[in-house]
């Protein structure tokens, strides 16, 4: 690390410790008064140990980050990569979240979204995937590995319980630039690629990126308390054999056209609807407000995946739900490791447009029948009464919840009871029970369209040093 300085918009001097290159030994970063950490270029934690841990030049390292530490990047050349066999222990607190942001945000510039985005965080693990570089490799084995689209960094393997560390009480702000000539739109706020179920990810906010919020490339990690706010691309995409769950999700697009809230497909970049392991995403207690007026579906479930949406509220201006691909809706088949059509329980849809996708090969009527409005507390003509904080109002409170815990079981993947962030029983729908629920307060930042309350600092204001 080297030390420099940064001038704030108010003329104050901010001390900067710069991280660059490769970290091949354990490193702890404390919170230092008046100091931020800069991510300069691609910063690697460890050197890839390979899918089986036997790479001759592999090195394992752990990056430990104290509560309240602030990082920034200044361009899409700046990003953090945690390699296979290494860990990041980024554990903030409700009152002192760890913040990764853009340099303009640290300076206090309101134009941060135009001129100072960075590339985000990529965590690479050794858990199973189905999209193999080697055409002869078998999905879910150590021979099946892949790389993310913008760099030759490998992920995947056969270790379902691989542990890439902890991401808890963390904000990831302003990733990826909006417009040329700033740079290419690549990556996402957070990419979890082949990350195993022993990894802990909860209380994470991904805010105002120009591309997607969260990408799940295979793996087994489950997540709780996730806020995806204001991203210009999609919200969450799961593919390449991901099998896990998300409980307590707030997804709020800003008031502009954007892509999906949830996109689930079996294998990216191909048409192999039966590649194994099959993608299986379960979501419980989501509150999603999708303000886009584009033609995209707010939720797109396609290409033979398994999917469950439980105890969730979706308010959108466009098509709410698209179920694509006849393999997505066929009957359960053990030989294909297929659980059958998507499942909906206590799912509430409020659309100003068309509820189901009329262009899908599955057909409007079959999609509607699978959703089952009027059964299992599902409602395709719901009227939301969400508060400004995105907490439940009277209509949401009146809907009975469904116990999501049976969906922790997976007949085609390991799901031990010790897995962090397994879904738990709940007595309400949506992510935020009511105005007294503090689960998303303090560790998040707030905006006009996602107002988590005065205890959450405004996103566009410089983080407190």
- The residue-averaged pLDDT of 8-33 equals 90
Residue 157 predicted with pLDDT over 50 = yes
Digit-coded pLDDT (tens) for 159-179: 999 999 999 999 999 998 654
Look at the block and give the residue holding tokens 């090195």. Answer: 59
Structural domains of the chain, count:
1
Residue 391 predicted with pLDDT over 60 = yes
Whether 333 maps to a domain, the answer reads yes
- The residue-averaged pLDDT of 330-356 equals 93
CB 64 within 8 A of CB 89: yes
Res 152: pLDDT: 85
Residues belonging to the chain: 465
Residue 180 predicted with pLDDT over 90 = no
Whether 439 maps to a domain, the answer reads no
Residue 114 predicted with pLDDT over 50 = no
Whether 423 maps to a domain, the answer reads no
Strand, helix or coil for residue 223:
strand
Residue 45 predicted with pLDDT over 50 = yes
Q: 42 or 257: which carries more pLDDT confidence?
A: 42
Digit-coded pLDDT (tens) for 369-383: 999 999 999 999 999
Digit-coded pLDDT (tens) for 127-137: 999 999 999 99
Res 195: pLDDT: 98
Question: Which helix (H) or strand (E) element contains residue 112?
Answer: helix 112-115
Mean pLDDT over all residues of the chain?
91
Dist. CA 453–CA 389, nearest whole Å: 7
Whether 422 maps to a domain, the answer reads no
Res 389: pLDDT: 87
Res 164: pLDDT: 98
Band (pLDDT 50/70/90 cuts) for residue 272 is confident
Look at the block and give the residue holding tokens 């996109």. Answer: 263
Backbone torsions φ then ψ of 101, nearest 5 degrees: -150, -175
Whether 290 maps to a domain, the answer reads yes
Whether 437 maps to a domain, the answer reads no
User: 326 Cβ partners below 8 Å, 6+ apart?
Assistant: 361, 362
> In the structure encoding, which two tokens stand for residue 7, read together?
């001038």
Going by their DSSP bridges, the two strands 13-23 and 2-7 should be labelled as antiparallel
Cα atoms in the 13 Å half-sphere on the side-chain side of 22: 10
Res 233: pLDDT: 80
> In the structure encoding, which two tokens stand for residue 263, read together?
């996109």
CA distances from 354 to 60, 289, 298, 368, 417 (A): 50, 15, 11, 11, 40
Q: Across the strands, what pairs with 15?
A: 5, 35
Res 204: pLDDT: 98
Dist. CA 103–CA 109, nearest whole Å: 9
Whether 37 maps to a domain, the answer reads yes
Whether 459 maps to a domain, the answer reads no
Dist. CA 89–CA 198, nearest whole Å: 13
Domain with 133, as residue range(s), is: 2-408
Least confident of 8-12, 185-189, 190-194: 8-12
- The residue-averaged pLDDT of 262-290 equals 93
């Amino acid at each position: 690390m080297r030390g420099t300085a940064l001038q704030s918009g108010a003329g104050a001097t901010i001390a900067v410790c710069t991280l660059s290159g490769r970290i091949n030994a354990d490193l702890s970063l404390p919170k230092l008064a008046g100091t931020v950490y800069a991510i300069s270029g691609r910063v690697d934690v460890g050197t890839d140990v390979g899918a089986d841990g036997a790479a001759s030049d592999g090195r394992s390292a752990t990056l430990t980050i104290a509560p309240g530490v602030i990082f920034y990047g200044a361009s899409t050349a700046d990003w953090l990569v945690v390699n296979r066999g290494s860990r990041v222990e980024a554990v903030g607190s409700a009152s002192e979240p760890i913040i990764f942001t853009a340099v303009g945000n640290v300076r206090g510039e309101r134009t941060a979204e135009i001129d100072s985005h960075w590339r985000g965080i990529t965590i690479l693990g050794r858990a199973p995937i189905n999209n193999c570089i080697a055409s002869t490799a078998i999905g879910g084995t150590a021979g099946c590995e892949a790389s993310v689209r913008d760099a030759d960094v490998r992920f995947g393997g056969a270790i379902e319980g691989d542990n890439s560390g902890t991401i808890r009480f963390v904000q990831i702000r302003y990733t990826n630039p909006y417009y040329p000539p700033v740079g290419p739109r690549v990556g996402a706020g957070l990419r979890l690629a082949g990350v195993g179920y022993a990894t802990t990810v909860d209380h994470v906010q991904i805010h105002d990126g120009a591309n997607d919020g969260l990408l799940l490339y295979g793996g087994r990690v489950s997540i709780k308390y996730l806020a995806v706010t204001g991203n210009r691309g999609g919200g969450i995409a799961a593919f390449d054999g991901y099998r896990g769950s998300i409980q307590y999700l707030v997804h709020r697009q800003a008031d502009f056209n954007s892509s999906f809230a949830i996109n689930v497909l079996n294998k990216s970049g191909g048409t192999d609807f039966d590649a194994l392991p099959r993608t299986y995403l379960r979501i419980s207690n989501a509150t999603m407000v999708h303000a886009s007026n584009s033609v995209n579906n707010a939720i797109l479930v396609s290409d033979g995946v398994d999917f469950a949406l439980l105890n969730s509220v979706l308010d959108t201006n466009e098509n709410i739900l698209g179920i694509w691909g006849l393999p997505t809706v066929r009957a359960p088949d053990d030989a294909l490791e297929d659980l059958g059509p998507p499942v909906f329980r206590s799912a509430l849809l409020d659309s100003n447009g068309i509820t189901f996708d009329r262009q899908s090969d599955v057909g409007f009527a079959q999609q509607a029948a699978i959703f089952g409005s009027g059964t299992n507390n599902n409602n395709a003509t719901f009227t939301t009464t969400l508060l400004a904080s995105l907490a439940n109002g009277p209509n949401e409170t009146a809907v009975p919840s469904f116990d999501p815990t049976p969906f922790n079981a997976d007949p085609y993947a390991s799901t031990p009871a010790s897995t962090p962030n397994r879904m738990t029983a709940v007595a309400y729908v949506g992510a935020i029970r009511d105005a007294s629920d503090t689960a998303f307060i303090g560790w998040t930042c707030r905006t006009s369209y996602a107002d988590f309350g005065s205890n959450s600092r405004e996103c566009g204001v410089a983080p407190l040093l």
